[in-house]
Amino acid sequence: MAFAYLFKSGRRERLENDAAGGPTEFFFGYPQLRDSGLDVDLWQDDDFGLNESPSRLWRAVNHLAWTVLGLPLWATYRLARRDARALLERYDAVFVTTNAFGIALALLKRFGLWRPRVIFIAMGLVGVAPPPLVRWVYGRILRHVTLAVISRAEREHLAALFPEIEVYYVPFGVDHRFWAPGDGNEQGDYVLSVGNDSHRDYDTLIRAWRPNFPELRIVTRLAIPAPLPANVKVVAGDWRAQVLSDGVLRDMVRGSHFVVVPVRDTMQPSGQSACLQAMACGKAVVLSDIAGLWDRGLMRHGENCILVKPGDAEALGQSARDLLDSPDVTRAIGQAARRIVEDHLNVDAMARAVQALCFENQANAV
């Protein structure tokens, strides 16, 4: 069985740059499946013109279709072209993690314009109350793909919205061989927060940060209004641009007292990678208890993480105070966090789940 991943641009370059031992979690099992001897290839949006800027008319039509119907017409058009199909239809299955690509291929499958199976890992596909028309459209096209998510909460959400569609769960896992505890010599006097997605709630975090706390380092490319408190520092960081190398970021995680991941309430598993990277490094994490928390059975408040109500600056500040005042407890939570990643939320477990979707569940294909 031949199998292909279709990613947004940047993955191939990262794979080449990280050949010497960088983290592999954002390839969703590709390196592990490739190294196991499976026939698996990697393609990017720029191989098919998906990253090209369409004309003004195309942009207007695409925006209208996306807003009203939830359909990415530009991506659908580019993937329907003969050159794209000639490259990808020789595979038995195509794996995508971008919503626009997954929906586009679901639409092509619905109308018989696409042969390979589509394994679509959706992230934040629809909100809590999607527009009725979008819900109707998705209910008719998503049954033609193998639909999966990386959050148990989102699986329950989609299963309730689309009871006629089987929704699978794939545990997102980080590279636990790269993200690992250090030798103990990295310890600094600061707390770390990392992340660039639009759900990050740095405003609440800054309001929570008390004058007598140690330095708070926020690694982000998001704009944070000045002036900042004297003990808050913003460090430019971007995964795609590699403003900070993964090695430098790992050292920053290792050197922190603990990591804070503040997120506005969302069904999307926002903050997942930053949280699990820190946990893999043996660090306690203070995380917003969002609706999309990926696995409530594994993420246990007070045991392997600290969960706080989204947007609650007082609770966030008190949780930070408690960890700063109790280094032994903070250390124990970090050690428990590392065990959860080693046992459940790592790249090997993710690769096994992807392989099961691609090969063991072929009978479920439509």
- 114-137: per-residue pLDDT in tens? 999 999 999 999 988 889 999 999
Mean pLDDT over residues 263-267, rounded? 94
- Say if CB 350 and CB 172 are below 8 A apart: yes
Residue 271 sits in the same domain as residue 126: no
Q: Do 163 and 257 belong together in one domain? A: no
What are residue 3's DSSP bridge partners?
Answer: 40, 93
Q: How many domains does the chain have?
A: 2
Lowest mean pLDDT among 6-15, 41-50, 67-76: 6-15
The confidence score (pLDDT) of residue 237 equals: 60
Question: Are 150 and 199 within one domain?
Answer: no
φ, ψ of residue 84 to 5 degrees: the values are -65, -45
Nearest Cα to 331, choosing from 181, 179, 175? 181
Rounded Cα–Cα distance for residues 131 and 105 (Å): 21
Q: Which residue has tokens 């050197």? A: 255
Give the highest mean pLDDT range of 33-42, 99-108, 353-362: 99-108
Query: What integer pLDDT is reported at residue 366 of this predicted model?
Result: 32
Residue 12, pLDDT > 70, answer: yes
Assigned domain for 181 exists: no
Q: Are residues 99 and 6 in the same domain?
A: yes
Determine what percent of the chain is predicted with pLDDT higher than 90. 82
Average pLDDT rounded to a whole number, residues 146-152 = 96
Residue 362's pLDDT is 47
Residue 40 is assigned to a structural domain of this protein: yes
- Cα torsion 265, 341, 234, 310 to 10°: value is 20
3-state secondary structure of 211: coil
The predicted pLDDT at position 148 comes to: 96
Domain of residue 296 covers 190-343
Would you say residue 179 lies in a domain? no
State the CATH number of the domain containing residue 307: 3.40.50.2000
Looking at the fold, whether 324 and 354 belong to one and the same domain comes out as: no
Residues 6+ apart with CB under 8 A from 340: 279, 298, 299, 304
Say which residue the tokens 């707390």 belong to: 191
For residue 359, is pLDDT > 80?
no
Regarding whether 124 and 222 lie in a shared domain, the answer is no
Q: Is residue 180 part of a domain?
A: no
**Is residue 240 a part of any domain in this protein?**
yes
Task: State how far Cα 212 lies from the chain centre.
Answer: 33
Q: Which of 216, 162, 224, 227 is nearest to 193 (CA)?
A: 216
Q: Which residues pair with 93 in a beta bridge?
A: 3, 117
Task: Mark whether 255 and 321 lie in a shared domain.
Answer: yes
CB atoms within 10 A of CB 42: 17
Confidence of residue 364 (pLDDT cuts 50, 70, 90): very low
Same domain? 208 vs 268: yes
pLDDT value of residue 363: 37
Residue 145, token pair as written in the block: 């793909």
Query: Which residue type sits at 299?
Result: M
Look at the block and give the residue holding tokens 């969960």: 307
* 314 DSSP 8-state letter: H
- Both 324 and 212 in one domain: the answer is yes
Q: Mean of the pLDDT values across residues 65-81? A: 95
Q: What is the CATH number of the domain that holds 134?
A: 3.40.50
**Structure tokens that stand for 329 in this block:** 């407890």
Q: Which 3 state secondary structure label does DSSP give 265?
A: coil
Calpha distance 138→152 (Å, rounded): 20
> Tell me, what's the pLDDT at 19?
58
pLDDT of 93 over the 80 cut: yes
pLDDT number for residue 187: 82
Alpha-carbon span 10 to 241, nearest angstrom: 9
Which whole number is the average pLDDT over 9-31?
82
Q: Determine, yes or no, domain membership for 182.
A: no
Q: Are residues 155 and 230 in the same domain?
A: no
Q: Is the pLDDT of residue 184 over 80?
A: no
**pLDDT tens-digit readout, 279-324:** 999 999 999 999 999 999 999 999 999 999 999 999 999 999 999 9
In a domain, 184, yes or no: no
In a domain, 185, yes or no: no
Regarding whether 279 and 138 lie in a shared domain, the answer is: no
Strand-pair partners of 21: none
pLDDT value at residue 361: 57
**Contact between 193 and 219 (Cβ < 8 Å):** yes
What's the average model confidence in pLDDT over 194-211?
96
- Kindly state whether residues 134 and 256 are assigned to the same domain: no
Please give the pLDDT value at position 243: 60
> Quick check: 219 pLDDT over 70?
yes
